[in-house]
Structure 1
Amino acid sequence: MRQKKIIPTDMQAARQLAEDLLQEVEAKGYSESMQFAIRLALEEALSNAIKHGNRYDPDKSITVEAEIKDDHTAITVADEGEGFDPAAVPDPTADENLEKPSGRGIMLMRAYMDTVQFSKRGNQVSLVKNRC
């Protein structure tokens, strides 16, 4: 299954899209742990696009492309923000950042997905989970 959706900069729309995609992942017979990994990474990517990319701007949208196959799931989330440099994001495991309430999303995406790639501009992330 391959699809492209454009959603508003809205948490409810993002949650609904994530649910719809996760139903497709479940229908393909992915294990619960793989479903959890995909859900976590997708929710983080969508949340980052809304909060940091589009900065909650209702005039901007988020484009999500998903390819859910028997052997892998690939999801790309793109926002209309200015972008950022992922290498400049502080290490959330550093002592000075341990008590900060945010900053762990990219680390979690990298921990749970097989591939996490950001566009050069930094306003798009591609996530891939291979099925073992």
Structure 2
Amino acid sequence: MPIEQLQDFLVLDSRLTEVSRAQSWAEAFADRFGVTENIRYAIRLCLEEALANVIRHGYRSESGHRIVIRCWCSSDTLFFAIDDKALLFNPADALPRDDGSEPVSLESIAPGGNGLPLLRHFAGSLAYERLPEGNRLTMGFSISVS
């Protein structure tokens, strides 16, 4: 994951109201690289899910904690890395739910526990790193750079 191609970063507070600010910031990169609407949707959804998980579960909905998002483009992929100092949590270790049923539509999905499956489905790549004092989740989205 070469960070030498870093484009920009955004610092957030651990409040759910900050999620929309992160999504607007990400839209600026989508504009810069001519990202299609389908990929824009995936980026918005994945940022919302990942940040909400950090805030709700990692920081237990307690404000005042720093979350840093970095964004860069490498070849034909737009990357977003979320760094936090919340409880250590590797999403790769979380097993998918095995309740014997598969949702047939968005309306049939039960609330809760769907964030990681959504990330796995909508992000082109997911990578987790344990940092000396926290976590880094990097999500990649395939784009056509013009």
TM norm structure 1: 0.83
Partners of 1:52 and 1:97 lie apart in 2 by 25
Q: Which residue, 74, 86, 104 being the options, matches 2:91? A: 86
State the partner residue of 1:129.
141
Distance 1:66 1:87, change over 3 A: closer
Q: Which residue, 8, 22, 28 being the options, matches 2:27? A: 22
Question: For 1:42-93, what per-residue CA distance to the aligned partner results, in whole angstroms no more than 9, with x for missing partners?
Answer: 1111111111111122231111111146722100112221212424434235
Give, as a single letter, the amino acid of the residue that structure 1 aligns with 2:81. Answer: T
Q: Which residue, 48, 56, 65 being the options, matches 1:60? A: 65
Partners of 2:10 and 2:45 lie apart in 1 by 19
Distance 1:23 1:87, change over 3 A: closer
Partners of 1:85 and 1:105 lie apart in 2 by 13
* Structure 1, gaps ≥5 residues long: none
% identical aligned pairs: 22
Is the Cα contact below 8 Å between 2:80 and 2:139 reproduced in 1?
Answer: yes
Distance 1:70 1:12, change over 3 A: farther
* Structure 2, gaps ≥5 residues long: 1-5, 104-108
Is the Cα contact below 8 Å between 1:49 and 1:78 reproduced in 2?
Answer: no
